[in-house]
A and B are shown apart, each in its own frame.
Chain A
Amino acid sequence: MKKSSFKSKSANTSYRTEIIHDVPAADVAGIIQEKSKETGYRTHAILPESDGEFTLIFVFDD
């Protein structure tokens, strides 16, 4: 699994977005549960990848 993060802004609100690539299906639920407990968590998306794994995208308050 590879993780990267960046900052973005929308309507004067700053967010921090975190992208985790290559997440096996079996690990998706656990990672979402852990991340949703982190400070500032707002929402997430699960993007399927061509090899059956997933990319997870989390948005936090900055």
Chain B
Amino acid sequence: MIEIDQNFILFVSDFTTSKKSFDTITELGSILADSASAAFTPASTKTVLSLVSGGLTASRTSVGKNFFYEQSLKALLQQMSAERRSVARDLIKGTGATVDQYPLAAALQDIERYYFAGTIDGAFVGVQKDAAQKEEKANQDIAEIRKISSYAELSKAWIANNGAGAARTKIRAWLNTKDGLHQVLAQAVVVTAAVDSGLEIERIAALLPESEQEKAKTLLKEDRTNKTANFLATYGSRLNTADVVGILPGDALSYVAGSAAEDDPLGINKTSNK
């Protein structure tokens, strides 16, 4: 592993030094040629020197672009380091395991992976793998958005047929299945839907004890960005989420149901699958 590390350090050092040296030499050459062309009088000499200067600059640009791919080099080196760290973690973890858990063959395979991670080919494979994973995740998120929008639309139709009361009962039952982290999330969803639904603030404030209602109304008069957050920060722990569901209008109920499409709170998919 140490030998592979030394080779990698030498490779990185060679690669970056060769680019810097080349840039410096051509830069100096270009400056000298420019100065010389200004000092010479015959037009032909000036032209030749200017051409040399232009050629040097152009070749530097060309070599820089074609061979070093400018910033891509940095990205590739970063990719190599990241891949190497990832394999090194497996190797270090393996040293603490028994021979049965981490046999020699597995260790040799990891050392090979460690070497490959520090090569240009390995970096390209890593970049492709990362890109594929990101694309896969983006596709999953897009599928989730479609599912949510489509479930919200189906919920509107379901509520039109079965009534808002039936939807409230089902959404309350769904809320009862949530605890801890997911209860916090569900409460934020329901209260956001209530605040955004255009309900009179008096109706929302009326869910709190009378002594709190005036302060709650003041909070609910703030701009949209702050009012939900400030209302939840102040009253979240004392607010009964099921009570908030009780005042949600039909559209807001369909949006809350849509946000929980994965759980099918209205039982729409169960009905349509029958």
Interface, chain A (partner B; CB < 8 A): 2-11, 13, 15, 17, 19, 21, 25, 28-30, 32-33, 42-50, 54-55, 57, 59
Q: Which residue of B lies closest to A22 (CB)?
A: B224
Q: Which residue of B lies closest to A18 (CB)?
A: B229
Complex CA distance for A6 and B188, rounded to whole angstroms: 10
A29 touches B148 (CB 8 A): no
**Size bin of chain B's contact surface:** 35 or more
Q: Which of A33, A47, A55 has the most CB of B within 10 A?
A: A47
Contact indicator per residue, chain B 140-161, by CB within 8 Å of chain A (1) or not (0): 0110110011001000000000
Interface, chain B (partner A; CB < 8 A): 134, 137-138, 141-142, 144-145, 148-149, 152, 179-189, 192-193, 196, 224-226, 228-230, 232-233, 236-237, 251, 255-256, 258-260
Residues on B with C-beta less than 8 A from A7 are 233
A25 touches B230 (CB 8 A): no
Q: Is the interface of A mostly helix, strand, loop or mixed?
A: strand
B259 touches A45 (CB 8 A): yes
Complex CA distance for A17 and B231, rounded to whole angstroms: 13
Q: Which residue of B lies closest to A59 (CB)?
A: B185
B183 touches A10 (CB 8 A): yes
Contacts A/B (CB < 8 Å), 16 sampled: A3-B225, A4-B226, A4-B228, A4-B230, A10-B181, A11-B179, A13-B180, A15-B184, A17-B229, A43-B185, A45-B185, A46-B145, A46-B148, A46-B259, A48-B149, A59-B181
Q: Which residue of A lies closest to B139 (CB)?
A: A29
A8 touches B232 (CB 8 A): yes
Query: When the two chains form the complex, which single residue of B181, B187, B224, B228 contacts A42, counting CB atoms closer than 8 Å?
Result: B181
